Structure 1
Amino acid sequence: MNAFSTRLSQTTRSLGWLRSGATGMLLIASLLFARYSWEIPLAVTAERSLYDLRAVATAPRVAQDPRIVLVTYTDETLAATAKRSPLDRAILAKALTALDGMGAKSIGIDILIDQAQPEDQQLIDAFRAMKTPTYLAFASHNTNNANMRDWQEQFLSNFQRSIAGGAVHPASVFFLPDLDGTMRSWPEQPRSLPPLLSNAMTGAPESLRNYNRAIAYRLAQDASRPVFTKLPIDLLANPDVAMALKDQIAGRYVLIGGDIIDTDQFATPMTWYIDKATDSNGVPLEDRPRNGQTIGLEVHAHMLAQLLDGRWKQAMPDTAIWACALLVVLAGALTALSGLPVWGVALFVLAQGALFASLPVGAEMIGLDTQTLPQFGWGVGWVIAFLAAGSAARALSGEQRRFAQSALGKYLPRDIAAEILRNPDSLSLTGEKRPIYVVFTDLEGFTKLSHAIEPEMVATLLNRYLDMLSDVVLGQGGTIDKFVGDAVVAFWGAPIAREDDGARAVAAALAMHEAGERFRAEAPEGVPAIGKTRVGIHYGEAIVGNFGGEGRIQYTALGDAMNTAARLESANKQTKTNVLASGELVARAGVPIFRPLGRVVLRGRATPISIWEPVPNLLAEKRTAFAHKVDAAVRGDATARADLERDSINHPDDAPLRNLVYRLEHEAEGGYFVLD
């Protein structure tokens, strides 16, 4: 957690508080949109459309329902009776009398008797004679003030009291479409109203008054056979025809209402997505030109069928909706931060799109009410999160580029700096263990020299000297670790490793010594003699990265490899060499220019190592012969040691050889010499 907090703090500072705050606000906005888009204007329209699409896609295709039959007033009925509103009640009375003797389970009437008509007594007599459980539509001004006035409610209540005590009971026909006029859910069932028509007809428990989730619409399996059988009420009102229809009535739930153009019609989820050749009940539109809408009586029939089937939709858990919203936002942000190529991002986005498109459909298929699942909100939330994270990533990348240019431009070779600019992640911003080639230099006697001349001259000389050695390091592709007074520490193999790093490091070590010699020769008049530049070079593991804490970051290497290179540089003075390398370096560099100088224990160390001197001007066969001779001498061969001693006498100017002979003569038990 502390590491995360630190990284977050560093990222915030890199982006700036304003940009970080804006990014955070956008991510929060994307999460809220992905969660609450069903409650956001305009977005809810898209959500409803997507819900309708998946509701239709998952709606069961069924054969004609044998349990429910619709008895309807049609436009032809209205023409024959010369009445449109209120509907002719004499036909209703005759149909009810016929139906009462046909064995229907129950009868539901979706017709409001809300004003007087001459046929009222005939209808009252028919109601009082009913033996079949019958439920007559009721509505109130309080719940439906757009269509029911107080005087209409008063008439309806008085009418229903006039037929009370028999088989006829009031039932609510209150519908509550969504704001776009579409019937998607069961309506509220206020306690001030009697049970809903479908509930009353089936004797559903009182607890179902609380169900207000999705209506489980069904579609016709065969367009020529609608989900529900429809019979014109004219046929049942005709005694000569009615009894011939008994088999279609017996044992069924009968719903009576209007199937009239422009009256009591509702849009449903199927309105815009079903085959436009038929309506939602499978009836050809040329016979029912209602633009795919569904009459209220059919909505009652779908709810009645749902109740009989027990297909109750379960609410989506709020935790699941939040989890999905969070997943969408994370997916959008991670996609922006993935660093994938364009084709990889495209595949990633397609996979996410397939997942987030299938989740709501799958939820709908297993019986969840997905009206609260924000599928459109997911898409918008994903886009906002993608743009916010992508913008922040680009800004952070720009900061990293500027960091690489300003902090490392003077310490890295051009090709490595260019690679870091192309790929900032190649520069570790923490630390990692890497095998590297380390070069450590020192200018002999410079501290004493600095006390003998003016400070201004010290600065001039030191800057020139360091410039000369830095040019060598950068020219050979190395990384300048640090300057310690007149000492230069450099390494190869990080932040980017190359196959020829070893050869580059060796070449740099030789060139740095030579640059030091030129510096000595070009010293201004009046400056005391300047000492030699000595170099130590080693290969080993180190921790490489940015160190220094929050306030001051330095790209550097830490570890034993650095210390060993420093000890090798110091050992030059005692071994009479200018450049001294370890056996590990010689084994890995692949540069055959070294001759062995025995085994020593470096100052401050306990373990002996082999040391080597680069002699690029010595012929290869002579280097090989010399190496064999030294190897034998180190193993205690007296002849080899005597040969080396004669060689040192014959070459009095070879101080490193003379020192080797001395060390062989005075080595400690175990075959090595301990340096001071």
Structure 2
Amino acid sequence: MDAVRQGGSSDPPGAAASIADAKRGLGSVPFARALVTGLLLALAVVVARFSWDLPMSSFAERVAFDVRSLQAAMHRPAAQDPRILLVVYTPATQEATGKRSPLDRAILARALANLDRLRAKAVGIDILIDQPQPEDDALRSTLRAMRTPTWLAYASAAHNGADMQPWQQARLDALFRDLRGSRVRPASIHLEADGDNAIRSWPRTPRDLPPFLPQALAGNSNGAHYDGSIRYRMPADPERQVFLSLPIDLFAQPETAAALADQVRGRIVLIGGDLPDSDRFVTPEGRLANPDTAFGRQFRENIPGLEVHATMLAQLLDTRMPTPTGASGLWLLAFLVVLAGAFTAMLDVRPWVLGVILGGEMAFFIATPFWLQNIGVDTRDLPAVGWVAGWLLAFMATEAAVRALSSEQRRFAQAALGKYLPRDIAAEILRDPDKLSLTGEKRAIFALFTDLEGFTRLSHRLRPEEVAPLLNAYLDGMCEIVLRHGGTIDKFVGDAIVALWGAPIARDDDGERAANAMLEMVAFARDFSTRGDQAAVRLGRTRVGVHYGEAIVGNFGGRDRFQYTALGDVMNAAARLESANKALKTAGLISATALERSNSDAFRPMGRVTLAGRSTPIEVWEPAPDMPFADRRALAQAWTAFDAGDLSALNTLHALTARYPDDAALQFFVYRLEDCGPGRHFELREK
């Protein structure tokens, strides 16, 4: 550490040793704390990577994905698909056939025969023929005679659990043995819903099952199965769903079926149920859309499984298969998110800069999943909520570690520098120890001086054990105001306080901070002696002076002691302003030079005065927050008019003094104006 030279002097010997110890200790973090922080960061990575699988976050991830799916669907509304036709059993079909479950197979056989003649491109049947019915022979004959490529539903007891008993699978296996050599082949219809019964992803197809129905109908039954999210589409016209759906009853008779030849020819026909009480699933969009609105009706609350198959089939035909993020990509993103949270917690920047950084990171977390969804990346397993949770966990863990380290730094600073420098200067030196070698620099500052009127006489009347608590309580309150408004406490001179704004750190709003501190100090001092034990003592009035100007700031002192302070005319002027309060009967005075940099309207004019020992007049203002704004403005306007030579403005001034007969400062102000005349100033002769 460089020695601080003040006229050939150096640092106090103890300070140099203490600072050296502090520099050695600043980077030390106890092993236990580092271990806990490391474990929390590792946990944050796990949360940011696997939040889809965690019980506390999986629901939120589903909702976030549903919002993205809805936005993507709204972005690209679809016209009715001309390639796919749904032929469905409806409640009316059940009523006409007199069969609820299993569905009537006689009408299925007749519909298949008629559809076969209408030259459909392919037929997919989402109905399990797993229970014996009287119409089975007719249906079997129709299936054997099909010339159209037909895929019939198949399920396995091994993969469907209680929904498929071994004897049912045995009947299915026997049926397909009978159909061997025909154009009818088995296709898996297994769908996998999430815990909320919403279908978001393509199901996994085990190798011991036949090809998945949409894949088989798309013509790539031997290709690799897609493992990603389903891309549902929003109908461009609320009155026309994405897929044309017709009751199977219309195809049961040759005459009505022939009338629908144009709706069948060249299309892939999917046959299944559209029944309110079975085989229905919620879609991501349907969970969010309000069915009571026109927009919401474009997304039904739930859809039949047959339409889910149709959606996946259309997705295959359109090759709208989102690119998976991949495990390595998800791990990389998780690490980056956690690193961002940790580094953000370690930033030592201004609040507004931190706010911009936080806003940018939150925008990234929100916008990136939507952007990836829209450019064709599969966000089904993207842990968007996990990113935020992982970032927050990393931020809090690192913030706690940084705070603990900062606490150690503060203890080092207090031990090494607390005896020689003010606390805020010590904190600045701790962040940049080289600043201790600062010898002086010119800065524009706001200087504030206070003095407690009559305290010396009062202290002679009180016992010593009464003076210290009283003065300490007063100074504590006044200093807390200075520090809360970002000021630097320069020194104490008995009951007086000297404070600075603009050094050692300058802020754009230093003027506003200084003015607000002045207002609060005047109010605090006025009320202090009326509270608690102080009420019996009755302290005198506190006088405050504030001025703005250039000063030399730095470390000044002798060989063994030095102080960070300011020297210059601005300090003298602020001290004279504090003293001028006595003559002007005011509680506080701030120069116009300082006030115009504060943007405060809580002050009233007190004219121009020449301070003791100075030749140039200065315009001064007094804190008057309790005076209505209209009266403050009227006073300022009247003084400006009078100062410009308008003597009629005295009428307004006298009216104001009449309204405030107990306001000695206002009364004396108007008296001075009359005595001095327009454009003149009042000369103070005493310091």
> 1:333: Cα distance to partner?
2.7
Give the alignment partner of residue 336 of structure 1, picking from 341, 345, 354: 345
What is the aligned partner in structure 1 of residue 63 from structure 2?
A: 49
What is the aligned partner in structure 1 of residue 231 from structure 2?
A: 216
Provide Cα deviations, 1:287-332, integer angstroms capped at 9, x if missing partner.
xxxxx11211001101110111111121113333223222322332
> 1:205: Cα distance to partner?
5.0
Provide Cα deviations, 1:102-152, integer angstroms capped at 9, x if missing partner.
111000000000111111111112112211111111111111122111111
> Contact 2:235/2:298 (CA < 8 Å) preserved in 1?
no
Give the alignment partner of residue 310 of structure 1, picking from 316, 319, 329: 319
Identity %: 45
Q: Which amino acid in structure 1 is aligned with residue 552 of structure 2?
A: D
What is the aligned partner in structure 2 of residue 199 from structure 1?
A: 215
> Contact 2:198/2:284 (CA < 8 Å) preserved in 1?
yes
Partners of 2:556 and 2:137 lie apart in 1 by 114
What is the aligned partner in structure 2 of residue 427 from structure 1?
A: 430
Change (3 A) 1:425 1:332: farther
1:147 aligns with 2:163: yes
What is the aligned partner in structure 2 of residue 89 from structure 1?
A: 105
1:259 aligns with 2:274: yes
Provide Cα deviations, 1:29-57, integer angstroms capped at 9, x if missing partner.
22221122122222122112211211221
> Contact 2:155/2:189 (CA < 8 Å) preserved in 1?
yes
1:157 aligns with 2:165: no
1:171 aligns with 2:176: no
1:67 aligns with 2:83: yes
> 1:420: Cα distance to partner?
2.9
Give the alignment partner of residue 408 of structure 1, picking from 407, 412, 417: 417
Give the alignment partner of residue 248 of structure 1, picking from 258, 263, 267: 263
Provide Cα deviations, 1:596-647, integer angstroms capped at 9, x if missing partner.
xxxxxxxxxxxxxxxxxxxxxxxxxxxxxxxxxxxxxxxxxxxxxxxxxxxx
1:418 aligns with 2:408: no
Partners of 2:24 and 2:322 lie apart in 1 by 46
Q: What does 1:485-524 correspond to in 2, within 5 Å?
A: 499-500=551-552, 504=556, 508=558
What is the aligned partner in structure 1 of residue 385 from structure 2?
A: 376
In structure 2, list runs of 5 or more residues that go unmatched: 1-21, 441-489, 492-502, 507-549, 562-687
Partners of 1:265 and 1:109 lie apart in 2 by 16
TM-score, normalised relative to structure 1: 0.60
SS of residue matched to 1:384: helix
What is the aligned partner in structure 2 of residue 114 from structure 1?
A: 130
> 1:347: Cα distance to partner?
3.6
Change (3 A) 1:97 1:11: farther
Change (3 A) 1:26 1:503: closer
What is the aligned partner in structure 1 of residue 149 from structure 2?
A: 133
> 1:340: Cα distance to partner?
4.1
In structure 1, list runs of 5 or more residues that go unmatched: 1-6, 286-291, 438-475, 478-493, 516-676
Change (3 A) 1:174 1:281: farther
SS of residue matched to 2:245: strand
Q: What does 1:279-358 correspond to in 2, within 5 Å?
A: 292-358=301-367
SS of residue matched to 1:219: coil
Change (3 A) 1:168 1:345: same
Larger radius of gyration: 1
> 1:74: Cα distance to partner?
0.3
What is the aligned partner in structure 2 of residue 34 from structure 1?
A: 48
Q: Which amino acid in structure 1 is aligned with residue 303 of structure 2?
A: T
What is the aligned partner in structure 1 of residue 402 from structure 2?
A: 393
Provide Cα deviations, 1:631-671, integer angstroms capped at 9, x if missing partner.
xxxxxxxxxxxxxxxxxxxxxxxxxxxxxxxxxxxxxxxxx
Provide Cα deviations, 1:355-383, integer angstroms capped at 9, x if missing partner.
11111111111211112211111111122
Q: Which amino acid in structure 1 is aligned with residue 385 of structure 2?
A: F
> Contact 1:426/1:496 (CA < 8 Å) preserved in 2?
no
What is the aligned partner in structure 1 of residue 632 from structure 2?
A: none
Partners of 1:66 and 1:502 lie apart in 2 by 82
1:276 aligns with 2:276: no
> 1:407: Cα distance to partner?
1.1
Change (3 A) 1:502 1:21: closer
Q: Which amino acid in structure 1 is aligned with residue 143 of structure 2?
A: F
1:232 aligns with 2:235: no
TM-score, normalised relative to structure 2: 0.59
> 1:282: Cα distance to partner?
5.7
Partners of 1:150 and 1:333 lie apart in 2 by 56
Provide Cα deviations, 1:251-298, integer angstroms capped at 9, x if missing partner.
10000000001211112222312342489996686xxxxxx1121100
1:16 aligns with 2:21: no
Q: Which amino acid in structure 1 is aligned with residue 324 of structure 2?
A: A
Change (3 A) 1:284 1:83: farther
Provide Cα deviations, 1:385-429, integer angstroms capped at 9, x if missing partner.
2222222222222222221211112343xxxx22235xx243355
Q: Which amino acid in structure 1 is aligned with residue 52 of structure 2?
A: W
> Contact 2:128/2:154 (CA < 8 Å) preserved in 1?
yes
What is the aligned partner in structure 2 of residue 542 from structure 1?
A: none
Q: Which amino acid in structure 1 is aligned with residue 237 of structure 2?
A: D
Q: Which amino acid in structure 2 is aligned with residue 386 of structure 1?
A: F
SS of residue matched to 1:160: helix
> 1:198: Cα distance to partner?
1.4
Higher relative contact order (CA 8 A, sep 6+): 2
Change (3 A) 1:218 1:495: closer
> 1:504: Cα distance to partner?
4.3
Partners of 1:269 and 1:503 lie apart in 2 by 67
Change (3 A) 1:69 1:189: same
Partners of 2:227 and 2:555 lie apart in 1 by 79
SS of residue matched to 2:168: helix
Paired residues, what number? 440
> 1:204: Cα distance to partner?
0.6
Q: Which amino acid in structure 2 is aligned with residue 24 of structure 1?
A: G
What is the aligned partner in structure 2 of residue 100 from structure 1?
A: 116
> 1:8: Cα distance to partner?
12
> Contact 2:439/2:555 (CA < 8 Å) preserved in 1?
no
> Contact 1:178/1:184 (CA < 8 Å) preserved in 2?
yes
> Contact 2:234/2:298 (CA < 8 Å) preserved in 1?
no
> Contact 2:238/2:294 (CA < 8 Å) preserved in 1?
no
> 1:496: Cα distance to partner?
9.1
Q: Which amino acid in structure 2 is aligned with residue 148 of structure 1?
A: M
Partners of 1:329 and 1:10 lie apart in 2 by 27
> 1:70: Cα distance to partner?
0.1
Q: Which amino acid in structure 2 is aligned with residue 420 of structure 1?
A: I
> Contact 2:289/2:299 (CA < 8 Å) preserved in 1?
no
> 1:351: Cα distance to partner?
2.2
> 1:93: Cα distance to partner?
0.8
SS of residue matched to 1:198: helix
Partners of 2:163 and 2:24 lie apart in 1 by 62
> 1:169: Cα distance to partner?
1.4
Give the alignment partner of residue 362 of structure 1, picking from 365, 371, 383: 371
Change (3 A) 1:175 1:91: same
Change (3 A) 1:298 1:226: same
